[in-house]
Each structure stands twice: as C-alpha cells, then as structure tokens.
Structure 1
Amino acid sequence: MSLFEPGNAQRLDQDVVEQALQWMVIVQSGVSTEAERQACQHWRTQSPQHEMAWLRLTGLNADFRDSTRMLPAAGARTLLRSRNVTSRRTLLKGFAGLGVALATGYSVRERILLPELFSDYRTATGERRQVSLAQNTDLTLDTHTALDARTTGSATDLTLNLGRVLITGANISLSTAYGRVQPTGYSRLVISQNLPGVDGTRVQVLTGSASIELAWGDSFSLGAGQQVTFDSSAAGPRGQVMTGADAWVNGLLIAERMPLSQVIAQLNRYRPGVVRCDPAVAALQVSGSFSIDRPDASLDLLARVLPIRVQRVFGYWANVVAA
C-alpha cells in the first residue's frame, strides 16, 4: 500500500502529492524566502486535500527513519542519503526557472513558483497534451510542461516556462527566458526549456525553418534538420537534429549509445517520484527504444539487459545501482 493511500484515509490525487513535494523541498531548502513560505501556506489553505498531502508528506521523514530501524546500519544510511539526494532532484525538476527569476530582481510570482499550476497550458507527470490554436497552429506538450499563449490579430505569441513542446504551424512565435523563436512559414519544430542534460533552450527544426533572436540581441536562422542550444550567455554550435527528437510524441525514448544516466534522467520526467542513477553505472552505454508511458517497465527492461538492478523505496523513490 502506498504511503499516500492508507486504508483508513482519503486517497490523494497524484498531482496534489507532487505539488506538496515541490512545496516541501522549497520550504525545507534552507534558502526559501518569506514570500515563498507565504505562498506555500496559501496553497495549503486552498483545499483540504492540499493540507492532507502536506501533513502526510511532512511526516515522511519520521516514517522513513522508523522503517529503517530494522535494516542494517549501512543500509539505513544508504537509504537516508538517497532521500536527501532525491529531494534536491525534485527541486531541480519542478523549479528549474526559479533561480533565474530571483536573480533578475523580480518579485516572486505564482507563475514562477509553480508554472505547472498557473500557466495557460500545462501537463502533469506522464501526461502529454495536444492543443489546437488559431491560424492552424497545433501544439503537443510533453510531460511537466508549462506554456502561456496570447493571440493578437493573426499572430500567436507563446511563452515556454518549463518543459518541451512540438509546434506545427505558422504566424507564431515562442519566447523562453533566453530568447525568441520565430518559425519561418509553415514549420514543425521542437523547443525545450531546461530539460535534463540541456542547460537553457534547445530548438530542433524538423521541417521548414526558424529565426532565433537571443536575449542579448544576436540573431540567426536554422534550417530543416538543424538544432541549437542557447542560454543567457552563449549559443552552442549548430548541429544535426538528434534521432528520435520527436519520438516522445508517440510515447518513446530513442537512445543511441546514450549514457545510462541520461536515459534515467529522461525516464525520471515521466514517472511519479524520483529515480536516481548511481555514479558507478552512470556511464554505461544504452541503445534501444524505451516506453515513456511505462517508465517502470523501461527500468525493468534496462535491468534485464545491463548489469544493474533497481531498488524501489515506498514505490516512489528508485535507485539504479550495480547488480
């Protein structure tokens, strides 16, 4: 039975549990501001389910320690260290843009604190969503994606706050914290913001072309089959679009000699909870096709073909370690 599904209590929605996790990591990070603590308190009072999830989650530390008393001391220390690491990973997953907003001196806003809750379009863990906008523009939002949209006349302006989106159409532009992307004519492109292994914005042009204006003023164009990654200070070299760049639309992760750590980081985005890859196996090379709709099955498949095993804790945290 899950920690959040006790037999004598109300079952909690998974999205609410994840929101409580994100708030807990912020408040217990040691660097939270008064505005963030007030925003957390506001979230707790919005719904009885919010408060129930918060109370159960804040009791997790004690429950976890109690459960480890029957373990050998070394094993208990390993699990507790894992929980500390995964809490930081949860913070990075849910609030990748928070540091940027605070550093620029803007006040904390709900849209920055929890973009998955307050953006115009958003997706939860494991969810993908298709959205049709005006002017024959279609969007596919990947998991953990938050996006704002504004239509003015015949043009649509998008802002990608978090995650990844596939855009098909014309008369559209998309902004991120690091620049602005304008498809040239009818185009199909994938734009990502702060995904695992990608610090900044990545633009992948599948068909058509796009012009890119960076936050500091430089601009350039990309043609079909080209991709580039840029952040607040620099743009990387232009390269060829990676194989399977849009495979996630069909529920797949395509790996070609990809380090296991990167595969785990990708699967982590689609699975409730957190998956940690031990550094001892992080460099193992992986090739193949894996389901992102069934991330636990993909983890089990990796354990069958690689010298690794998956340790699961409460069904929520998982560690990938050497077999």
Structure 2
Amino acid sequence: MTPLPAPEPRLDPHILEQAMLWMVRLQSGVSSEAEQLACQRWRQESAAHELAWQRLNGISQGLRESTRGLSATGARSLLEARSLPSRRAVLKSLAAGGVLIAGGYGVQQRSVLPGLFSDYATATGERRNWSLTSGLALQLDTRSALDSDLVDGVRLLTLNRGRVLLQVEQGASVSLRTADARVRPAMLSRLVVSQQSTGTLVQMLKGAAQVEHGQGAGITLQAGWQQLYSSSRAEPLEPLAAGAGAWTQGLVVAQRMPLAELLAELDRYRPGVLRCDPQIAGLQVSGSFSLDQPDASLELISQVLPVRVQRVLGYWASVVPA
C-alpha cells in the first residue's frame, strides 16, 4: 500500500508576512549587506521562519522575479509602513497592480494569502479582540480575516474568511459584507457571522440585523434566531443553536452534534490535519469541549464514544472506530 504523502504544515500569517517583507527588501535592490545577514539570522531563528521563506520561494520563480521588478520607491513605501493595516494596504496595491505574481497567475488576496492581505487576521488557535470605533467591538475566531474601512461615518467591514463576533453599542453604524450577503446590525446588537463553504451563517445573540443577499429583499433577523444565506437563497429560519457564542470563551457546546461536525470545529484550532473516518462521522455527541486544547478534547471524545485517535508524528490525527 502506497503511504500517504506528508501534509504541508500551515504557516502563521504573521511569519509569512515577515518572510514576504524580507523578500521584497532583498530582491528589490534596496537592501544592504547588513540587512542580508539580518535576513539570514531571521531564517535561522526558528524552523517556522525557514519554512515560510522556503514556501514563499517555492511558490514560483514568478514571485521572485516580480519582487526584483519592484521599484525602489515602491519597496521603501512597503518597508517603511509602520502600522500593520497601512503595510497591508501597500501589499494590496502591489497585488492589484500585478507586482506579486505566482506561477503565472495573480495572487488572489482572498484565497491564497487572506491573512496577509487583510487588515485584521488570526492564526491557527488564535482569537483576538479589537475596538474599531466608539461603540463597535469585534472578536475574530481562529483562521479568520477581515477588512475595515470608514466611509461617511459608517464602518464598512468585509469578512474574507472565518467567523467574527460583533458587539454594536449606541452610536455605532456598521455594515458587514461577506461573499454571500450584507449584514446591517441595529444598535445594541450582538451577533456572530460565519463564512462557511455552504454560505454565510448569521446568528443573532441580541438585538436585530437587516440581511440582504442576492437580488432578494432584505430580511430582518431577530435575537434568538439564525439563518444561512447563499448568494441565491436563504435557508429556513432556525432557533439559535445552543452555545452559539461559546467559541469566544474557547469552548464548543455540542447537543447531539454529529461527530464529523465537532471534529471540524476542533480541526480549525489544531495545527496539523484532523480527519474523521466516514464510518463514525454520524455518531452523535453532547457536551462541552475545549477549543484551546483540541488534543485533550479528542481524548475526551474517545472516552465517551466507541472511537480511538490515531496519530502520526503528532501532526496527522485520525479518529477511527475503536
């Protein structure tokens, strides 16, 4: 039997951004010998740094050639940008202008490097809180990315991937866009918006929101309800799932949840690859499980269900029948 190829490790978006900045500096003609040595030291600091450097170099010769073609002025604008949002804004403009090219096709900001090209992003296992304007706070879940702009006093958010909790207080005006819908929360609202493979899930914890999708009329979603939207339709309204906001506290609450669905949640928080054997995917499980300690949650699952966990080098894990 031919063994499966080892999966490629996921990269921390912050380290990936550092690697790209080093590449821009070294390949664009504005680096000194001291900076070249500093880059070498950075690569030697950790295996993750070297992996990010090699992964970027391995994207294609086209990416390396594009950084060599970057003007000194453009490179300095990128390297001298002090804040993370402004630096990513420069990277966005470079990508839009065709400077960053991989394998003969443009780098897709929202799919190839969404963390790198978004104003706010989280890595695997990370949750972060931000207060964007007076009366508006958000929390990004693991592996999530979001853009933010302020236009005529309205905070315009774009959820590029993942999940976000919005807390809208008195005086805040916000509109959130996803690939499938536009969500306009009322003041004094609290809601979770998730970008999923099947569409956009909006869960109202408090207050109300106007949701527009496709060419249909807007829908008012009230507290205690949730709805899944695709670009063409809205699924039937459902009562708010138990523990809809539990992830903000590092928990997933399962009530007769299919095992495959629970493992998919844990997989988002766990470095590496987590797979579920199709034979046991439909087993139902109830309880509270830690997202911050996903391997401990796997052990708990193996104690309450007739399953066991197979691991390969601590990276690849498969849940199979006991």
SS in 2 for 1:262: helix
CA distance 1:313–1:56, change in 2 (3 Å): farther
Inter-partner Cα distance in structure 2 for 1:322 and 1:112? 34
CA displacement at 1:54 relative to structure 2: 6.2
The structural deviation recorded for 1:209 is 0.3
Partner of 1:132: 131
Partner of 2:165: 166
Deviation at 1:183, TM superposition (A): 0.6
1:261 and 2:260 are equivalent in the alignment? yes
Contact 2:13 2:123 in 1 (8 A): no
Distance 2:308 2:290 in 1: 18
Cα displacement (A) at 1:152: 2.2
Structure 1 residue 17, shift from structure 2 partner: 11
Aligned-pair Cα RMSD in Å: 3.2
Partner of 2:205: 206
- Structure 1 counterpart SS, 2:257: strand
Cα gap change, 1:145 to 1:17, in 2 (>3 Å): closer
Q: Where does the alignment leave 5 or more consecutive residues of structure 1 unmatched? A: 4-11, 21-38, 58-105
CA contact (8 A) 2:140 2:165 kept: yes
Percent same amino acid at aligned positions?
Answer: 50
Q: How does 1:273-312 map to 2 (within 5 A)?
A: 273-312=272-311
Which residue number corresponds to residue 189 of structure 1?
Answer: 191
Kept in 1: contact 2:259–2:282 (CA 8 A): yes
Q: Distance in 2 between matches of 1:174 and 1:232?
A: 15
| Whole-Å separation in 1 of the counterparts to 2:15 and 2:246 | 26
The equivalent residue for 2:51 is 53
For the residues of structure 2 that align with 1:308 and 1:13, how far apart are their CA atoms?
27
Provide the TM-score with structure 1 as the length reference: 0.68
CA distance in 2 between counterparts of 1:308 and 1:317 reads 16
Equivalenced residues, count:
244
Q: Is the CA contact (8 Å cut-off) linking 1:17 and 1:53 kept in structure 2?
A: no
- The answer on 1:240 being equivalent to 2:239 is yes
Task: Give the match's secondary structure for 1:158.
Answer: strand
What amino acid does structure 1 have at the position aligned with 2:12? D
SS at match of 1:143: coil
2:226–2:237 contact (8 Å) kept in structure 1: yes
Aligned partners of 1:111 and 1:117 also within 8 Å: no
What SS does structure 2 have at the residue aligned with 1:116? Answer: coil
Distance 1:54 1:249, change over 3 A: closer
Q: 2:141–2:164: 8 Å Cα contact kept in structure 1?
A: yes
Greater C-alpha Rg? 2
How much does 1:55 deviate? 8.7
Alignment of 1:145-156 (within 5 A): 145-156=144-155
Relative to structure 1, is the Cα distance of residues 119 and 301 closer, same or farther in structure 2, using a 3 angstrom cutoff?
A: same
Local SS of the residue matching 2:248: helix
Could you say if the C-alpha distance between residues 138 and 158 of structure 1 is closer, same or farther in structure 2, counting changes exceeding 3 Å?
Answer: same
- 2:217 corresponding residue in structure 1: 218
What pairs with 1:31-180 in structure 2 (closer than 5 Å)? Answer: 49=43, 52-53=50-51, 108-169=107-168, 170-180=172-182
SS across alignment from 1:264: helix
Provide the rounded CA distance (Å) in 1 between the counterparts of 2:281 and 2:54.
Answer: 33
Alignment TM-score, normalising by the size of structure 2: 0.69
Give me the whole-angstrom Cα distance separating, in 1, the residues matched to 2:252 and 2:106. Answer: 37
